[in-house]
């Protein structure tokens, strides 16, 4: 019953409000993705620096 109410409210919302809601929901996901991406990038940078240090 509650999901039907939520659905009706969602349909009543304006496009801009829907977009705002979507951004609020997507923000944590994007933040986590960027966090893991930067961690992976840092790992590769560390490996790259270590490889250069070995060659010198």
Q: What is the DSSP letter of 13?
A: S
Closest among 18, 37, 14 to 26, alpha carbons compared: 18
d(CA 51, CA 56): 9
Is residue 40 pLDDT above 70, yes or no? yes
Check: CB of residue 42 under 8 Å from CB of residue 35. Answer: no
3-state secondary structure of 37: helix
Report the pLDDT averaged over residues 5-29: 82
Residue 34's pLDDT is what?
93
């Amino acid at each position: 019953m509650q999901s039907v109410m939520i659905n009706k409210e969602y349909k009543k919302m304006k496009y801009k409000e829907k977009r705002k809601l979507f951004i609020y929901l997507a923000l944590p996901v994007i933040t986590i993705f960027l966090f893991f991406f930067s961690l992976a990038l840092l790992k590769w940078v560390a490996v790259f620096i270590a490889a250069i240090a070995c060659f010198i």
